[in-house]
Structure 1
Amino acid sequence: MRRPPTHRGSTLALSALLLPALAACGGSGSGSGDKKERKADPKVRAAEKLVIYSGRDEKLVAPIVAKLEKATNTKVEIHYGDSAELAARILKEGHRTRAGLFFSQDAGALGALSRAGMLAELPRASLEKVDSAFRGSGGDWIGVSGRSRVIAYDARQTDAAPDSVKELTGPKWKGKVGYAPTNASFQSFVTGMRVLEGDRTTLKWLKDLKANGARPYGKNDAILNGVESGEIALGLINHYYWYEQHAAIEARGGKVHSKIHFLPGGDPGALINTAGVGVLKDGGQNAAAGRAVDYLLGKEAQKYFAGKTKEYPLAEGVTSPVKDLLPSLKSLDAPKIDLGRLDSLKKTQEMLKEAGMV
């Protein structure tokens, strides 16, 4: 599996001109001098090449891609980078893109490519493996694993976390809340709030949160460390950070002081975002990319991500290997939202600047 260096720095400028997708299937051939056509053995298929642009980290993705290559008889060339930057690169490349498959860390980047008409419609058999809430409304991208936003809290400072992020701007939590304004997961959550509540309401909430003394951190795990140490009482994070830290603390014989709260009532703070994949219309690798999609939705890959990251497997019939720790995905009361609409990240970043958070 080759891993050429990732090229960065593309800008989100829509490229037009969509060419018909090329189906890359093996066929039969004849040798020079043969009078009769020699048909290829249908059981033997030459390895096809698939170029993947991956917004997911190499350390996480490389092991499962190696298994994908073997399971699908595919030679993978993979480029790693930030999901938004890779989506921008694909948009800039347009119909000349080298990518056959885009593996995004979040739904917003896939939504941007879908809006630009860059993604091929997926087969119904593939789409039906995942609940409609976790795939593109146009049927051109699909979630592979899911993560829920939660509130982590220090059980020594409070008996329970609030049931809505809107309560975090109140005097009870003044100076006690941690958040990561430059982190992609926080920005996706803010984008979701904009979609659900509107820009005016979201901007006011951001300004009120900052005015209430909320403390900025660089990453989710730094927030959780702040909660665990008692530096802050509450933190806005993705659920799997807590499960990872919980296991690490217990492994070294320590005591866990933090807990997490899955918010009820479809609150914006209960957003479930997805890592997902889309097949590039113009990559000319649709057959190989389609097999990769189905592999990533199969039990081996689904259980791999669930076990490694504690994310939720999204394919029907696949249970998490840590299901005894996690509330079931169906039990979560996430807001109803078209995840593809999380593509307006630039507007969210501008809003965070206006609120004085970045």
Structure 2
Amino acid sequence: MTMKKHLLKALVATTALAATAAPAFADGEVNIYSYRQPELIQPVLDAFTKDTGIATNVLFLDKGLVERITAEGANSPADVILTVDISRLVEAKEGGVTQPVQNDVINKDIPANFRDPDGDWFGLTTRGRVVYASKDRVNADTITYEELADPKWKGKLCMRDAQHSYNIGLFASMVAHHGVEYTENWLKGVKENLARKPDGNDRSQAKSIMAGECDIALGNTYYVGLMKTNEKEPEQKDWVEAMKVLFPNTADRGTHVNISGMALAKNAPNKDNAVKLMEFLSSGEAQKIYAEQVFEYPVLPGAEPSEIVKSFGEIKPDTLPLADIAGNRKVASELVDKVGLNDGPSN
């Protein structure tokens, strides 16, 4: 299948291509299958092309990436996979659509806790799973995840669907740190502290805080930047002005973080160019551009986040390897169902 640049940048349906498609061999280009929206990654891809002369073609998918690459088989044009969550990176590896990369440049730039031990995926930026708190009604400037089950927050906590990958990642980290029994009891306490059934997205939790529906909520750090700079929906600036960001567990293990990341596709037809792109994405230049564009933290040690991200406060990331956390996703999901977290509080 010959990939046309103007078609690849469009939002496409996830209907799989026939496995008989012709391979996308081409000098001087690299084909990217992305769960991250093209406008968010285009600045860093433009910088790569400027540095190397290698053109980038982006196919954006909102779901079904593994299924598509699987259906395309050996003739898949995908070279590099970009995605926004550890669960999707692990899903790609477990789905058999990645191949390992052992590269000194990439391994030097990306800390071991943010990459797969086998080299099948690598983190590029991190975001904290933090607590949004009302400026008016919450006096505390510190909090822990464990405290979210404290009865003092009864009726004051909001969150999105408990089975969403952002929450499952956090719950999996609790299993990794405390074990299954503790996490089950903790989730029961969290359930009883909910102001309502889990609903909406991370941004709508900030809206609920401003409306007085809850005092605290779970949310990702990067949404704060997106709301603060949203000119199309300026009311979101009011939502974020009504809240502050609390980084849980700064006094001990640190705040749970998730990643956006990359992987080399199993049958990459432009493998050399793909590895060059992956090396570039792990570099200081790319980390700065990418992290500023998406309001996230660079994984490269010593790389500075944007001024807007710095304004959220200082983050101390949990150093537990994400591969260890990801291994507890299934049990975390089962616990959510077992305690009925999505049903909301009992009373």
Q: Does structure 1 retain, via aligned residues, the 8 Å contact 2:248–2:255?
A: yes
Distance 1:167 1:318, change over 3 A: closer
Distance 1:313 1:120, change over 3 A: same
> What SS class does the counterpart of residue 278 from structure 1 fall into?
strand
Return the offset for 1:176: 0.4
Match of 1:293 in 2: 278
Residue correspondence of structure 1 range 74-113 to structure 2 within 5 A: 74-82=54-62, 85-91=64-70, 93=72, 95-113=74-92
Match of 1:2 in 2: 6
**Partner of residue 336 from structure 1, selected from 320, 335, 339:** 320
Tell me which structure has the larger Cα radius of gyration.
1
Distance 1:254 1:148 in 2: 19
* Structure 1 position 146 matched with structure 2 position 116: no
Q: Which runs of 5+ in 2 are unaligned?
A: 17-24, 343-347
**Partner of residue 325 from structure 1, selected from 311, 323, 327:** 311
* Structure 1 position 272 matched with structure 2 position 276: no
Return the offset for 1:246: 4.4
Match of 1:281 in 2: 266
- Residue type matched to 1:2 in 2? H
Match of 2:172 in 1: 191
Match of 2:208 in 1: 226
Distance 1:268 1:352, change over 3 A: farther
**Partner of residue 205 from structure 1, selected from 186, 207, 218:** 186
Aligned residues: 322
Return the offset for 1:218: 1.3
Distance 1:255 1:277, change over 3 A: closer
> What SS class does the counterpart of residue 235 from structure 1 fall into?
strand
- Residue type matched to 1:197 in 2? H
Q: Does structure 1 retain, via aligned residues, the 8 Å contact 2:159–2:199?
A: yes
Q: Does structure 2 retain, via aligned residues, the 8 Å contact 1:169–1:208?
A: yes
Q: Does structure 2 retain, via aligned residues, the 8 Å contact 1:157–1:233?
A: yes
Distance 1:353 1:254, change over 3 A: closer
Provide the aligned C-alpha RMSD in A.
3.4
Distance 2:257 2:182 in 1: 20
Distance 1:204 1:343, change over 3 A: same
- Residue type matched to 1:189 in 2? L
> What SS class does the counterpart of residue 283 from structure 1 fall into?
coil
* Structure 1 position 308 matched with structure 2 position 293: yes
- Residue type matched to 2:212 in 1? G
Match of 2:19 in 1: none
> What SS class does the counterpart of residue 82 from structure 2 fall into?
strand
> What SS class does the counterpart of residue 88 from structure 2 fall into?
helix
Q: Does structure 2 retain, via aligned residues, the 8 Å contact 1:106–1:276?
A: yes
Distance 1:167 1:111, change over 3 A: same
> What SS class does the counterpart of residue 99 from structure 2 fall into?
coil
Match of 2:345 in 1: none
- Residue type matched to 2:205 in 1? I
Distance 1:116 1:197, change over 3 A: farther
Return the offset for 1:51: 1.9
Return the offset for 1:173: 0.7
Q: Which runs of 5+ in 1 are unaligned?
A: 11-23, 25-45
Residue deviations 1:114-165 (CA, integer Å, cap 9, x gap): 4566322231112111222212222332211111111111121121166322
- Residue type matched to 1:50 in 2? V
Identity of aligned residues (%): 24
Judge which range, 90-99 or 284-293, deviates more: 90-99
Distance 1:79 1:340, change over 3 A: farther
Distance 1:9 1:148 in 2: 33
Q: Does structure 1 retain, via aligned residues, the 8 Å contact 2:131–2:218?
A: yes
